């Protein structure tokens, strides 16, 4: 049910410890994500495919860069449907991150066949950097750290962008138009 008066400043439309509006938070997230995708693309061009993702990494970068545009368009056109591809992309990315984290944890187990197989794959992917078992553990540590941080940021991005999706959906449903807000005029 839509309230008769749409309050765009309601606390449910705030993010980042109620410090900013979800529109602003979503714009900042999308701009930062776009910069991240550009840096990743330039890194891919300079250094080639990453050891773990191979050429699929480029597809992931391009797809993410295309999806991150959706919320910006959704805000400008007041259309919540533009948010859905990026929200789905973030959800899928979080699922992949959880699976990758589990693989990293399995790789610590040198005694299991899965652990040995994953360690062998890491050794092949990283070559000279993974000569000893302790170096492989260090590589797994760094990968695990990046994956956990990535998961945390994806969850945060998802929550903020989902709030903005709800804001735009509520704004559209109420027929809110910024130009029709009654203005306060001081009587002289």
Residue-level pLDDT at 4: 60
At 3, the pLDDT band (50, 70, 90 cuts) reads low
pTM given for the model: 0.81
pLDDT tens digits, one per residue of 140-180: 999 999 999 999 999 999 999 999 999 999 988 887 765 55
Contacts 24+ apart (CB under 8 A), 152-155: 154/90, 154/93, 154/94, 154/97, 155/94
pLDDT higher than 80, residue 110:
yes
At 89, the pLDDT band (50, 70, 90 cuts) reads very high
Least Cα distance to 9 among 188, 170, 185, 182 occurs for 170
Give CA–CA dist 120/147, Å, rounded: 20
Give CA–CA dist 66/86, Å, rounded: 9
């Amino acid at each position: 049910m839509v309230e008769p008066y749409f309050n765009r400043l309601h606390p449910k439309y705030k993010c980042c410890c109620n410090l900013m509006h979800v529109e602003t938070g979503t714009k900042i997230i999308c701009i930062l994500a776009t910069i991240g995708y550009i840096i990743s693309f330039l890194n891919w061009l300079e250094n080639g495919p990453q050891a773990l993702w191979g050429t699929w990494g480029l597809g992931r970068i391009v797809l993410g860069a295309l999806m991150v545009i959706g919320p910006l368009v959704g805000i400008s056109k007041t259309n919540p449907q533009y948010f859905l591809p990026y929200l789905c992309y973030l959800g899928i990315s979080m699922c992949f991150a959880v699976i990758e984290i589990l693989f990293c944890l399995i790789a610590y187990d040198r005694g299991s066949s899965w652990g040995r197989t994953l360690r062998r794959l890491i050794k092949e992917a990283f070559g000279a950097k993974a000569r000893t078992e302790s170096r492989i553990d260090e590589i797994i540590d760094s990968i695990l750290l990046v994956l956990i941080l990535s998961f945390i940021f994806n969850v945060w991005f998802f929550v903020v962008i989902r709030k903005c999706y709800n804001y735009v959906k509520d704004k559209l449903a109420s027929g809110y138009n910024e130009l029709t807000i009654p203005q306060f005029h001081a009587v002289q």
